[in-house]
């Protein structure tokens, strides 16, 4: 085994991703998105007018629709079982890894360390978090990485510049259709490249920027002139953009919270970089990578910054918003220590037993991830009581029904998500609307006009309206 590190990287990534991916229960947003995608696949809602439930977001415009369409295709092919969105997430993770490797092959074709930026990227905790929770960054990140590949082919390799710049703009348009303006942070990449390399004059940079922006600009014109698209994005603007800047969607109390998240998630990368630089300090000068790749390092760092620092404008900040920008940070640090890694790998190749041991350990980790996933398959990793009770209750009431929620439970939004995703059940909030079924927390008093249904639940009681 000449190069054991790809196997080690596969093992680490598999262990971080696969066991948790195929367990039941996800972060609220991921269940929410899966429910909308499933509904699209089963004929509820349209591309420009997604549907969540009969009572909450019958017309859902909190996010653009592309991910729901793409994941909906998986539901159409694979069915509405629990693991459809998990397979989708696994595929997006694999595609993202391949795209990062492709970026590395463009900027360092002679190096055999394409595993390094993948390892740096995937060991950031927020990275594998998005894939085990079906977040939109899984999909958006693919388009952003694809855009970077076209940008590198145009700007770095000078290959069919106009075509690749336009293709990059097309990929960024798809990223925007997945999660809005946040996905289009690389539109300024030609300017970033010019700042970092000064390989052309200012006018050429403007021309390059024009071709990147062309397709997104044409789509804006199309959206403006097409009523159904215009209405969809107007609703998105009112629901999301205005909500964000009017502080309705705040998730932090500081504009700098996202930098704290960045520091925490970058710790594995920083620690590994420091260890490599320290271990090889007597053989390779610390700044060798910087001296060899300074312009590319600056470009990737600046590209990453354009996807991070604009998030500070509002206080709607969550760590997983960082993920589409993190591959470029991983690429920058990989270039910084590439000479040290090449030296260490060359030295390691002379020690056959150690090489075989590292590769075998990576295979062992991969096997361990697969075996442990079999034992954990279907077991809840979060919301266990809630998931259990939903299955018990709606197996009794029947699916595709409507139930009333009590005052205490009507703002437990994950209830809505699990009920719709797994059982096609919509919840009512208004107690004055007649409903055959009532769901409430066990700590609440028995409601008037309802009789208790004795079921083996853990957190909630089901009540049926008295005749």
pLDDT digits (tens, 9 = 90+) for 23-74: 999 999 999 999 999 999 999 999 999 999 988 999 999 999 999 999 999 9
**Measured distance CA(37)–CA(49) in Å, rounded:** 12
| Residue 400 Ramachandran class (φ > 0 left, ψ -120 to 50 alpha, else beta) | left
Pairing of strands 437-441, 402-405: parallel
Contact 165, 215 (CB under 8 A): no
**Measured distance CA(293)–CA(291) in Å, rounded:** 6
Positive or negative: CA dihedral 147, 149, 150, 155: positive
Contact 31, 92 (CB under 8 A): no
The string of DSSP letters for 68-117 reads HHHHHHHHHHH-SSTTHHHHHHHHHHHHHHHHHHHHHHHH-TT-S-THHH
pLDDT at 434 over 90: no
pLDDT at 411 over 80: yes
Neighbours of 16 (CB within 10 A): 20
pLDDT band at 238 (very low <50, low <70, confident <90, very high): confident
Region 295-320: mean pLDDT is 91
pLDDT band at 82 (very low <50, low <70, confident <90, very high): confident
Contact 215, 166 (CB under 8 A): yes
Q: Is 50 or 242 the better-scoring residue by pLDDT?
A: 50
pLDDT at residue 345, rounded to an integer: 85
Contact 318, 265 (CB under 8 A): no
pLDDT at 196 over 70: yes
Give the residue among 341, 240, 252, 340 at the shortest CA–CA distance from 8.
341
Contact 270, 332 (CB under 8 A): no
pLDDT at residue 328, rounded to an integer: 97
Contacts of 168 (CB under 8 A, 6+ apart): 147, 148, 150, 151, 154, 186, 189, 212
461: helix, coil or strand?
A: strand
pLDDT at 246 over 90: no
Look-up of token digits 């093992």: 11
For 368, how many CA atoms within 13 A lie in the half-sphere containing its CB? Answer: 13
Region 186-195: mean pLDDT is 95
Number of H helices, E strands in the chain: 18, 5
6: helix, coil or strand?
A: helix
Give the residue among 397, 467, 380 at the shortest CA–CA distance from 439.
397
pLDDT at residue 285, rounded to an integer: 85
Q: What tokens were used for 8? A: 């080690």
Q: What tokens were used for 51? A: 């549907």
Chain centroid, CA 297 distance in Å: 24
Q: Quote helix, strand, coil % in the chain, to nearest 5.
A: 65, 5, 30
pLDDT digits (tens, 9 = 90+) for 213-234: 999 999 999 999 999 999 999 9
Report the residue count for the chain.
467
**What proportion of the chain, given as a percentage, has pLDDT over 90?**
72
pLDDT at 1 over 70: no
pLDDT digits (tens, 9 = 90+) for 271-284: 999 999 998 888 88
């Amino acid at each position: 085994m000449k190069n054991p590190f790809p196997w080690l990287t596969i093992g680490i990534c598999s262990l971080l991703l696969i066991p948790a991916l195929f367990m039941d229960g996800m972060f609220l947003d991921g269940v929410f998105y899966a429910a909308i995608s499933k509904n699209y696949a089963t004929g509820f809602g349209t591309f420009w007018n997604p549907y969540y439930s009969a009572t909450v977001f019958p017309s859902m415009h909190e996010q653009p629709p592309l991910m729901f369409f793409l994941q909906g295709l998986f539901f159409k092919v694979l069915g509405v079982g629990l693991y459809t969105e998990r397979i989708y997430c696994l595929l997006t993770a694999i595609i993202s890894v391949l795209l990062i490797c492709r970026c590395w092959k463009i900027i360092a074709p002679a190096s055999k360390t394409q595993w390094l930026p993948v390892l740096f990227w995937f060991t950031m905790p927020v990275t594998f978090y998005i894939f085990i929770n079906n977040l939109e960054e899984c999909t958006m990140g693919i388009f952003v990485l694809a855009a970077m590949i076209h940008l590198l082919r145009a700007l770095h390799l000078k290959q069919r510049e106009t075509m690749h710049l336009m293709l990059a703009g097309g990929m960024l348009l798809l990223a925007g259709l997945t999660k809005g303006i946040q996905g289009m942070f690389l539109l300024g990449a030609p300017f970033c490249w010019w700042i970092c390399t000064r390989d052309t004059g200012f006018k050429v940079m403007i021309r390059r920027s024009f071709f990147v922006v062309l397709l997104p600009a044409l789509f804006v014109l199309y959206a403006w002139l097409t009523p159904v698209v215009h209405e969809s994005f107007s609703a998105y603007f009112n629901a999301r953009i205005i909500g964000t800047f009017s502080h309705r969607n705040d998730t932090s109390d500081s504009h700098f919270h996202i930098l704290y998240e960045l520091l925490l998630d970058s710790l594995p990368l920083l620690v590994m970089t420091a260890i490599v630089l320290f271990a090889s300090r007597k053989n390779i000068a610390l700044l060798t990578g910087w001296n060899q790749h300074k312009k590319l390092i600056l470009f990737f760092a600046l590209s990453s910054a354009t996807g991070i620092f604009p998030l500070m404008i509002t206080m709607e900040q969550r760590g997983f918003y960082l993920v589409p920008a993190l591959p470029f940070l991983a690429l920058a640090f990989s270039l910084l220590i590439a000479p040290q890694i090449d030296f260490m790998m060359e030295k390691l190749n002379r020690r056959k037993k150690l090489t075989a041991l590292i590769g075998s350990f990576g295979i062992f980790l991969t096997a361990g991830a697969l075996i442990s996933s079999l034992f954990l398959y279907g077991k809840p990793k979060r919301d266990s009581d809630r998931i259990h009770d939903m299955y018990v209750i709606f197996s009794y009431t029947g699916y595709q029904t409507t139930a009333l929620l009590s005052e205490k439970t009507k703002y437990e939004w994950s209830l809505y998500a699990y009920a719709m995703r797994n059982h096609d059940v919509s919840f009512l909030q208004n107690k004055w609307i007649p409903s055959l079924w009532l769901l409430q927390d066990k700590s609440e008093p028995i409601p008037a006009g309802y009789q208790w249904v004795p079921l083996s639940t853990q957190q909630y009681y089901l009540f049926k309206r008295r005749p």
